[in-house]
A and B are shown apart, each in its own frame.
Chain A
Amino acid sequence: MSFIGLIGRELRLSARHGADTLAALLFFVLAASLFPFAVGPAPETLARIASGVIWVCALLAALLPLDRLFGGDFEDGSLDQLLLSGMPPAMLALAKAVAHWLVTGLPLLLAAAPVAVMLRLPMENIPILIAGLLPGSMVLSLLGTLGAAIVLGARRGGVLLPLLVLPLAAPVLIFGVGAADAAMTGLTPRPHLLLLAAMLAGALPLAPIAAGAALRAASE
């Protein structure tokens, strides 16, 4: 099977299990909607925390589907078949990360703009928020794939996974929110966005290689 073929297979499986796929998106929208109830609907308060809320909710929502990323394949024997498909394990992990981003990251990115409007983020800052979320969500998919591969086969892997991924995701969160906040205070968001892009450039080769090694270890 080819790289593209594997991504297509993953997308088809996600489409067949539509409820699982939608769960992450609905979680994102619902969790973000709780904040106006909790902190009150005052526009200036909401606008101040909007970008942080969106980033944290997106991060947590992206974690939701991770334990099924390899879990199903591990339990039904498909992982063995994928490892024997002649594709290097790192490519396998990269294909999974791409599929995770297409199924979870991209919908979150699209939902972020309406949620930002709901949280009273000034209109002119929404493009900066999205510009940060774009590389940020890709890094989260890569780190999440790495975490999912590492906890594969461990007991209580679902609990372990956030503990492993959240600390790694902290820098992404800091610079992602930093970009949006810089724009709010009239500073340039450029350095924050460049740092996010640098993280993506680092994670793009490293996370799949490490995840591939973890997949090999899980199959042994």
Chain B
Amino acid sequence: MLEGKGLAAFRGEKLVFSGLNFRVAAGGATLLVGPNGSGKSTLLRVLAGLGRLEAGQLFWHGEDALADRVEHAKRVAYLGHLDAVKPGLTAVENFFNAADASAGLAAMALVPLADMPARMMSAGQKRRLALARLSVDPAPIWLLDEPTLGLDTASVARLGEVFKAHRARGGVVVAATHLPLPLDDAREVSLA
């Protein structure tokens, strides 16, 4: 269970949110909604342990999650606006663990592109590759920033299956989005 109490964070020199409370149960999903600039991406980075938390506390199973950031990193899979795909490497080589590659590529229907260098891929295919890498991440907390941006309908449906499998294992999904996501009974947290 992921729980935030009284969270506050800056983006640059602007306080984007404060006093934010939320709770995601094991197997649950939370959608962060709010207008541009309301701090959704900042919150996701804070939850990942990448951004700085100015006030409040984050708990994972009742314990302070950010006390040991290296330990927290092992619990977290994060996908930001950027795909973190290296153009010089092939789809398979872009996986951090080569052993995961075949399962991941299959999940996002990228098997035919396995040996294609990422520089030859379209924006949507790179996004799918980033999601394929996410799909084999055993971390229980998935933090996603606009995960379906640039995806075709078939890929969004595949992503729905990936989410379903992750939540069935007791994983947690927190996603910021303006587009409808294939997440059943997700709770919304609104950032004004």
Task: A219 to B48: give the CA distance in the assembly, Å.
Answer: 11
Q: Which of B50, B52, B83, B89 is the most central at the interface, judged by chain A CB atoms within 10 Å of its CB?
A: B50
List, in ascending order, chain B residues with CB within 8 A of A216's CB.
69
Kindly state whether residue A88 has any CB partner on chain B within 8 Å.
Answer: yes
B16: CB under 8 A from chain A? no
Q: Which residues of B contact A186 (CB under 8 A)?
A: none
Q: How large is the interface on A (under 10, 10 to 19, 20 to 34, 35 or more residues)?
A: 20 to 34
Among B74-82, B103-111, B166-174, the stretch in contact with A: B74-82
Q: How large is the interface on B (under 10, 10 to 19, 20 to 34, 35 or more residues)?
A: 20 to 34
Q: Compute how far the CA of A16 lies from the CA of B51 in the bound complex, rounded to whole angstroms.
A: 32
Given contacts A1-B96, A13-B88, A16-B88, contact A220 B51 (CB under 8 A): yes
Inter-subunit contact A76/B96 (CB<8 Å): no
Q: Give the tally of cross-chain contacts (CB within 8 A).
A: 60
Q: Are B73 and A80 in contact (CB under 8 A)?
A: no
Contact of A76 among B49, B52, B84 (CB under 8 A): B84
Inter-chain contacts of B96 with A (CB < 8 A): 1, 5, 9, 81, 85
Given contacts A12-B89, A220-B50, contact A78 B84 (CB under 8 A): yes
Give A173 Cβ to nearest chain B Cβ, in Å: 33
The CA of A84 and the CA of B142, in the complex, are separated in Å by 12
Any chain B CB within 8 A of the CB of A86? yes
- Chain A CB count within 10 A is highest, among B51, B78, B96, for B96
- Do residues A80 and B80 form an inter-chain contact, with CB atoms below 8 A? yes
- Let me know if A134 is at the binding interface, CB within 8 A: no
Which of A13, A72, A84 has a CB less than 8 Å from the CB of B73? Answer: A84
Q: Are B81 and A77 in contact (CB under 8 A)?
A: yes
Q: Is A169 an interface residue (CB 8 A)?
A: no
Residue B97 at the A interface, CB < 8 A?
yes
Chain A minimum-CB-distance residue to B76: A84
Known: A12-B89, A78-B84, A84-B49. 13 other contacts (CB 8 A): A1-B96, A5-B97, A76-B84, A77-B82, A77-B84, A80-B78, A80-B84, A83-B73, A84-B50, A84-B77, A86-B70, A86-B73, A220-B50
Q: Which positions in A face B, CB cutoff 8 Å?
A: 1, 5, 9, 12-13, 16-17, 72, 75-78, 80-81, 83-89, 216, 219-220
